Structure 1
Amino acid sequence: MSQPVQGSKAHAPLQTISGADAGKIARAAFVGTALEWYDYFLFGTAAALVFNRLFFTELNPTAALLASFATFGVGFAARPLGAILFGYIGDRVGRRPALLITIVMIGVATGLIGVLPDFGSVGLAAPIMLAILRLVQGLAVGGEWGGAVTMAVEHAPAEKRGRFAALVQIGSPVGTLLSSGAFAVVLMLPPEAFDAWGWRIPFLLAFPLLLVALYIRVKVEESPIFADLLAEQEVAKVPAFEVFRFAWGRLIVATLSALLGVGGFYMITTFVVSYGSNTLGVDRQVMVNATLIAAVAQIFVTVLAGRFAERVGPGRVTFWGGILTAAASFPLFWLIDTKSPVAITVAITAGIMLVTIAYAVSGALLAELFPAKLRYSGVALGYNIAGATSGFLPLIATAMLTVSNNASWGAALILVVIALLTAVGGYFGEKLRVRDKPIVVDA
């Protein structure tokens, strides 16, 4: 799987950057990523609680929920296309312009969802427009994460890449806190008010948040590693093509190692929220509040896992994160099946913490699987192929409920499979890591 990547040659010494600048870049990447995930996660929560009732109202409840999750999955299907598009921009034009475009795209698309008319107002046009905006979200996210990780890693010294990459990953739980928190607040409204206008508020908040994130990201300087590649005229002509041609084995490993962080997360949040509220009859507020608590725990696990990866390697951390998650999958769903609010909260929190072990180090691992000239494209493709593969897992798990007579064993089995695949990716990923030449970072 370790095919040589053609076109590499020695580079001139890189410029010296300060530790403060490296930290500023990572924090800017975090802020932008937090907004991206806020926008993206809103759709997942709304797919479970709103869209099935307001945008697919002519279907029976189960079919409406499946259609809602299918629309949710459209965003994942678009992500590899976004990875190719923005990977091309990021590996040829620059990391910075690609990240500016992605943040504007997803912020505008999310805000527009907040003003969409529902099925009762415009009929079939409502779910079509919803699917189009979800497609735009998916394209933007397909380029966002890979670029944010690449920028953070390429500004960091090798021995501190784990923590800088983990800082970007914290954008995920913060995005969850913001999106789940926004929904937790509007769910306090009377049901009629929530359905009429309350659910729109979290989406409309994307507009002011976009302005803040854009202001921060505009100040970010270009990656010194990319600037060096540009000066040496060593940029790839068609980066995605070169990844598929010369680094396909690394791409497979990257995809496997990212499966759990993406698919496992949505299984334990989007699917479980739907399963608890729609199948088990648990109050929606209980399910959303559980994801809030889990997101707080996720932040601490992300920091610890990132630091640990600097000691033992991100591949080894990924491997053990996959093994532990696989072992805990069935017990987690058994706790959820009790319908106890406390047990459900414990299960969701524990599940997110376990999934996060692998997710926290995905940025560091994927970035070191690809050489600098293919990094943006390779990282984005690996992560988003995993996203496209696993984005339909809530839909598949929901469909399996009809086969299993609403029993949770099918969902637990899905979690076991993707966790073990991620463990395989971590094992080989550690062996295939490549090293950039050292970056000089002043204290």
Structure 2
Amino acid sequence: MRVDIKSKNEFNAMIQQVLNNKTLPFITGCSINSKNIKTGDIFFPLKGEKFDGHSFIDEAIMNGASLIIAEKKNNQEIQIPNIYVNSVLDTIKNLAKRWRMESNCEIIGITGSNGKTSTKEILSTVISKSKSVMFSKSNYNSTVGLPMSMFEISMDDDIGILEMGANKCGEIKELTEIATPNHGLVTNISNAHNKYFGSINNIAKNKIELLKSIPESGFSFINMDDSYLREVKLSSKHITYGFSGTYDFTGVLLDESIQINNDIISLPYSNMALAQNYLAAYAVLVTFGIDNKSIIKELENMPIYPGRGELINKNGIVFIDDTYNSNFASCANGIDSVVKMIGNKKILVLGDMHELGDATEEEHIKLGRLIDSANINAIFGFGDYIKYTLDAIKSDKILKIHFNDKNELAKSLKQYHNSGDIIYVKGSRCMKMEEIIYGKGN
């Protein structure tokens, strides 16, 4: 990961003060990857479970690094300007926290089990039409990715949109302490990353830390359809939205469109997950004073991002690429969309749902029971856990085949599908189910 520094003079003044060194070289970027270093960059050699960035300091120097911030216990002799610290990661966090204090932009923090990246992309695209916006790229939402992303905040930015992810208890709270968001949105709570949290209650408790961090002057956007979120007690101002009642922003999913209060917004296809993202984004955008007509225009022209429900037409067959990640809630939404679509055979190609911990078997069985009562023609499963899903399907109207080899799955699928079919492809990130659509290595 590498970021460019936009407000270079101010950033350099800040790091000289924080690191108590007035002789540092002029910094224009920061990287934790020695391979994408550019001249003028700081290289932060992080230590992980499987690697030690200090082993790549020489490569970073060869690629143009101007400053190395390394750990004191490392005995390596460094030939360019360098600073030794107790913890490289803590230094990144402390610099990001201080850089946040230098900025006057309002920060919107976004977290949730599903939809946070897509909602962030929608918000940044629309708001950037009228304001200067910084947003965390890709899914750089971790205790490393978020503070690194914050170095891109410019002194001219009006708004920063930061995605916050977590794999264990306490990480969302830590991220809020670094970013100090003015406003917060939790998209939803579901059994994602249960392996690391232990229970959905712990997931909810940790995600809600974002909303608890919002000051009284800020807005917390509350998804009233989520039982874990609707009852939360907060000191900030509340903006409510949902499909299940009457709220500040009330959504109704129609055929290939969503109605929000009095506005109708076209969707690429009937998809509840997409509609939920649009509703959440709409609530934030209107609250921030964006004109309704502008919002509708931008949303209707918004692309669906790869791996997040994108429609791919190949020789008359519609593939739905929802392969970025998977859990029961997101998979159920996707299957519901397939059922509503007009086509010939409706085929599911599903890989394992990972990071569910003790709930792994139960969640896969629950998915199978859902499919059992759905208008689906076939399911092609890949992986160890997806066997639980196939075993839970009792209907003799659904063809179900399990594969241990992805290439064999692709061959069988090619023999089975015909023009006019709809094929929904999904699985956890580690399953790389997009290879079914695009081929290996793409």
TM-score range normalised by the length of the shorter chain:
under 0.3
User: Scaled by the length of structure 2, what TM-score is found?
Assistant: 0.23
User: Scaled by the length of structure 1, what TM-score is found?
Assistant: 0.23
User: Where is the strand percentage greater, Structure 1 or Structure 2?
Assistant: 2
Greater Rg over alpha carbons, structure: 2
User: Where is the helix percentage greater, Structure 1 or Structure 2?
Assistant: 1
